[in-house]
Amino acid sequence: MKRYFQSFNLSNNMLDIISELKFEHPTEIQHQVIPKTLKKQNIIGQSQTGTGKTHSYLIPLMDQIRREEQSVQKLIIAPTRELAMQIYEQVKNMIQFDEDPNPWKAKLVIGGTDKKRLMQQFKQQPHIVVGTPGRILDFIEEGAIDASSVESVVIDEADLLIDLGLMEEVDKTLYRMKEDVQTLVFSATIPKKLEPLLKKYMVNSQYIQIEEDVLSPEQLEHRLVPLRHRNPADLIVETSKLINPYIALVFVNKKERADELADQLLSKGLEVGVIHGGLQQRERKRMLQEVKTLRFQYIVATDLAARGIDIPGISHVFNAELPKDMDTYIHRVGRTARAGLEGTAVSFYTEYDLPLIEKLEEKGLSFLNYDIKKGEWVEVQEWNQRKKRQQKDNNLEKEAWKKVKKRKKVKPGYKKKMKYEKDKVKKQLKREQFRKGKKRGE
């Protein structure tokens, strides 16, 4: 059933902005979050990247701003400068379509900028502030932001805040808010380390979980390629000749490895950018701007650096190194096959990655098993073929033992005879299975 933004209690001005943004129908998270936010409820929202989460809170919160009051009414906390900048861009984009004569005012508060100069600008208070935890806390402690005027706080990508060790700053910020402040926490996962903060500040909260089929949407294909002591850079080049990606996001597990792989791909003539936590602020900003202008066909990234950053047009995701856990794999592949477009995730694996692959398959993910030989895709045996054969053999063994009659009187050499009979029955069962398989064309 199609849903419409007109069904929410939004102003005509906001509906016009939504129309200018080319949003036709609310996503599932927008359908659930917008009305609850308008009712000033506390929300814990769990959803993956790419579900329309940012606008699920921006639309209702900005529509509730009292424009005539010069005070910080809405505060949005993001774990990294890049994420804060991205959210701020979305805010500015909405402001440009605002036709009210008294427009919304917004400020970005992040590290790596001139703090004193920015504080001077807060003499005229903005309505909405987007920033990183440390810098926002600085502005509150130094009186540039009056915590008592804040009506709604958004904590975005909360699990990443935990990974980066920033929850103490968030806790100190929330502690300074008035008791009835509306709090909205969004996270892809709800780790145990997040629970104390939720219990402390999220009184009578509404829990919203959006279970999108991120593991295997119809448009997303998962391919496994055995690494077999080959260089991932060589395999990426070989694969790219066959798929010619529009934009490929290449994941590794450590920033040192990101630099190394990016250099290898550059030496092979590919247009490559790199995003990881070790880049200096100026370099990170330049790299992100070049990524957004489609300067690179390949972007090598670590998980923390790439989380939540909007890179448009990703057609392929390469796992040059598979992650250690399922959630990270889901985050990675969720960067492609968005908005109804097709996408492919190509993962290079070794025997150390088999436990993760097995868990993903148990979750319902379906892999296609390929290798690249002589410049062509070649279907290969499934990674667990040997295990399947062994399991099948064990089942036959059990079935054969069941068919062997146990003797009431035990004579010398009976164990040998029983084993002989079991092996005979097992061979017969194998022949029957083979004949059945041949009839079915297996």
Residue 82 belongs to a domain with what CATH number? Answer: 3.40.50.300
What is the pLDDT averaged over residues 207-235? 81
Q: According to the model, what pLDDT value does residue 224 have? A: 94
Together in a domain, 334 and 421: no
Q: Is residue 248 part of a domain?
A: yes
Q: According to the model, what pLDDT value does residue 49 have? A: 66
Together in a domain, 202 and 231: no
Q: Is residue 215 part of a domain?
A: no
Distance CA 365, CA 215 (A): 6
Domain hosting residue 409, numbered range = 391-440
Together in a domain, 107 and 225: no
Helix (H, G, I), strand (E, B) or coil at 53: helix
Q: Is the pLDDT of residue 353 over 60?
A: yes
Residue 337 or 285, more confident: 285
**Cβ atoms of 373 and 225 closer than 8 Å:** no
Q: Is residue 59 part of a domain?
A: yes
Together in a domain, 299 and 156: no
Together in a domain, 180 and 252: no
Lowest mean pLDDT among 107-116, 297-306, 415-424: 415-424
Number of domains in the chain: 3
Q: Is residue 399 part of a domain?
A: yes
Tokens coding 55: 């606008």
145-158: per-residue pLDDT in tens? 999 999 999 999 99
What single string gives the DSSP state of each residue in 234-299?
A: HHHHHHHHHH--SSEEEE-SSHHHHHHHHHHHHHTT--EEEE-TTS-HHHHHHHHHHHHTT--SEE
Residue 203 or 388, more confident: 203
Q: 113, 196, 158, 90: which is closest to 307 by C-alpha?
A: 158
Q: Is residue 122 part of a domain?
A: yes
**Cβ atoms of 154 and 184 closer than 8 Å:** yes
- C-alpha distances (whole Å) from 194 to each of 136, 201, 221 are 20, 11, 33
Q: Is the pLDDT of residue 89 over 80?
A: yes
Q: 78, 76, 88, 28: which is closest to 56 by C-alpha?
A: 28
Together in a domain, 138 and 228: no
Query: Which residues, in sequence order, are CB contacts of 44 under 8 Å at separation 6+?
Result: 185, 187, 190, 198, 202, 205, 206, 207, 208
Q: Is residue 384 part of a domain?
A: no
Q: Is residue 197 part of a domain?
A: yes
Q: Report yes or no on whether pTM surpasses 0.85.
A: no
Together in a domain, 194 and 242: no
Together in a domain, 177 and 323: no
Examine the fold and report which residue of 337, 353, 379 is the final residue of a domain before the chain moves on: 379
Together in a domain, 303 and 405: no
Tokens coding 219: 């448009």
Q: Is residue 156 part of a domain?
A: yes
Phi, psi of 104 (to 5 degrees): -65, 150
Cα dihedral across residues 201, 206, 212, 215: positive or negative: positive
Residue 125 or 283, more confident: 125
Together in a domain, 226 and 202: no
What single string gives the DSSP state of each residue in 145-157?
A: S-GGG--EEEE-S
